[in-house]
Structure 1
């Protein structure tokens, strides 16, 4: 069972590390996105059980900290333990790979993680399937939606509630392609 202390520790760490970053396409602080992802995870935890709620909550708040900041795996491991650090690492796209290979690699690594970590990726894409930035082309939006379909297919077994939410978001996203 997760606690408010678990949430606050991860939230504060993420807020400090992402300080100054903006949610793409807005003037909102980046922590807004992390809060949205965590809210999706918390909603899922209310209706379904998962092996480690704390891992799910903390990975939701920290999922971009290695990918988008100077934070290292070792720092996350020191603060939150190996299970959370491994989860965050699986959620991190490898910059060493060409862009088309990054998502398949991340999904392969995520499938080796517990459902608590996999559900964060579902929640992340749910959060990201809002109105696309105005500068995105139809081709970019189509590719993003198609990638969401791949994520859904790969991870839908992790959490039915989030899988159903993502499927609905994928369907709703079609309005931006019309």
Structure 2
């Protein structure tokens, strides 16, 4: 298992080097995108430390953990198209990194069927964001072709 920090660093790397995204707001949001969802950090803390814009992007990319996971996954699909360009960039990088991670190191308790389901769900999310960044979309398509 890789250190937790590797994932947000991977997102920033993908955005910068593969998507040519140099906006510091987007890069900061990428580094922070899972903080509210996966830690005790609050949106108010993010707003205070990083400002409204970065906190807003983070919140656009945050799942509501109190909802059933099926509902959360469905909401990601339906909300993707209406998300800000900044949030869509973070989401694209997140899906690329998640699929790469799943290929390289699938969780031991995940069947091939579950991995395929995740790949297909990620594609549904990304398909709602087509036209956001052709370079990132190409990278996603390349990794999707490696679907188990």
Q: Shorter-chain TM-score: what band?
A: 0.7 to 0.9
Q: Which runs of 5+ in 2 are unaligned?
A: none
Q: How does 1:32-111 map to 2 (within 5 A)?
A: 32-46=6-20, 53-111=23-81
Tell me: higher relative CO, structure 1 or 2? Use CA pairs within 8 A at least 6 residues apart: 2
Cα distance, 1:110 vs structure 2 = 4.4
Q: 2:120 aligns with which of 143, 146, 164?
A: 146
Q: 1:79 and 1:98 mapped to 2: Cα distance?
A: 30
Higher Cα Rg, which structure:
1
Q: How does 1:22-33 map to 2 (within 5 A)?
A: 26=1, 28-33=2-7
TM-score, scaled relative to structure 2 = 0.88
Q: Tell me the residue number matched to 1:128.
A: 98
SS in 2 for 1:92: coil
Q: Which runs of 5+ in 1 are unaligned?
A: 1-25
Q: CA RMSD in A?
A: 1.8
Q: Tell me the residue number matched to 2:133.
A: 159
TM-score, scaled relative to structure 1 = 0.74
